[in-house]
Amino acid sequence: MPKKAKQRGPVNVKAVETLKKRMKPEPVIAQLSETFKALGDPTRTRILLALCDLALCVYDLALLLNMSQSAISHQLGVLRHLKLVKYKRQGRGVYYSLDDEHIRHLLYEGIKHVEE
């Protein structure tokens, strides 16, 4: 059983109860945390930023980021697992793109935050 935190001042019980009701369920928090962990890797962030503009194949990303195709494939697997990228087969190639617009917005908001 977790220890109860020592109270150091008046508690706004109403505010705490309101916030408890608004808190997201644990699986949502866990997935959000995993998403931010993925963005914590500079290679994955660079891949996602490249995919903001157009769909690219592993070979394009490897050339762009000066990395091996296997390293890029591994990172794309992580991003796919987290539903940050999706892929589409075109002829003999596989092209990756952002899974949805939310990811683009998340990246651009993050960039605005760090550049201000």
C-alpha distances (whole Å) from 53 to each of 1, 26, 42, 49, 116 are: 50, 33, 18, 8, 23
> Average of pLDDT values for 48-64?
96
Tell me the pLDDT tens digit for each residue of 71-99. Answer: 999 999 999 999 999 999 999 889 999 99
Tell me the pLDDT tens digit for each residue of 62-77. Answer: 999 999 999 999 999 9
Q: How many CB atoms lie within 10 A of CB 17?
A: 9
- Architecture per CATH, domain 15-115, reads as Orthogonal Bundle (1.10)
Whole-number pLDDT of residue 11: 83
Run of H or E including 85: strand 85-90
pTM of structure: 0.83
Whole-number pLDDT of residue 5: 61
- Structure-model confidence comparison of residues 6 and 75, the more confident one: 75
Domain locations in the chain as residue ranges: 15-115
